Amino acid sequence: MRLILASTSPRRRKILALLGIPFDVIPPEFDERISSHRSIEDEVLDFAVGKAESVARHHTNSIVIGSDTMIFHESEKIGKPMDRADAARMLRLLSGKTHRIHTSVAILDNMGGPGLRMVERVSVNMLPYTEGEIERYLACNESLDKAGAYSIQGQGRNLIAAIQGDYLAAVGMPLRPVAEYLKNRRVAFDCDVDKIYNDKTFLNWGNFL
């Protein structure tokens, strides 16, 4: 049974690798275009499905995992910044406020399983920060491929006061539902997922206890 992660994200690759099972990584051919009229739940899930479908159609006899992350704040859906100026705009918008991360998972199972479609929500409280702090953070060059223009697992942790919810979902992909699905499909792995969530040693997880 071949397992494929349809992603270009190194964070999602690291999260799935925590299970200790072999998988392939194939970049999806999918254009993410945020709309103004659809709910964030529908859109972020459709993006995950679109990514998985773009890979699954070329790779039969496989289980394909797609995922997407989007931020919702003051009625605005926020994805990845277009450029440095857009990243600065996003960071100003989030400063000192609370926003919600929506991370979706879509599993397309061409091996006879039911598949999975779900959205995990995480609340993030940002510290108030200055224009100078924004500029110093942008100089770290970790903003442009992150929803909301900050990296929880990188230097962006210094901009965050607290996180409520699944840290792995905030980083890029919730592991529990993926592990449960694969276990139900009799994909063998020795990893104790509860231990991962209890120990909280992955990347900067321990900084948010």
Q: pLDDT tens digits for 111-168?
A: 899 999 999 999 999 999 999 999 999 999 999 989 999 999 899 999 999 999 999 9
pLDDT 10s digits, 60-96: 899 999 999 999 999 899 999 999 999 999 999 999 9
pLDDT 10s digits, 174-198: 999 999 999 999 998 989 999 999 9
CA distance 49 to 30: 10
Give me the DSSP letters along 148-208. Answer: GG--TTTGGGGGEEEEES-HHHHHT--HHHHHHHHHHTT------HHHHHHH--STTGGGG
Determine if the pTM surpasses 0.75. yes
Number of domains into which the chain is organized: 1
**Residue numbers of the domain that contains 180:** 2-208
Q: In CATH, what number is assigned to the domain containing residue 8?
A: 3.90.950.10
Catalytic residue list: 68
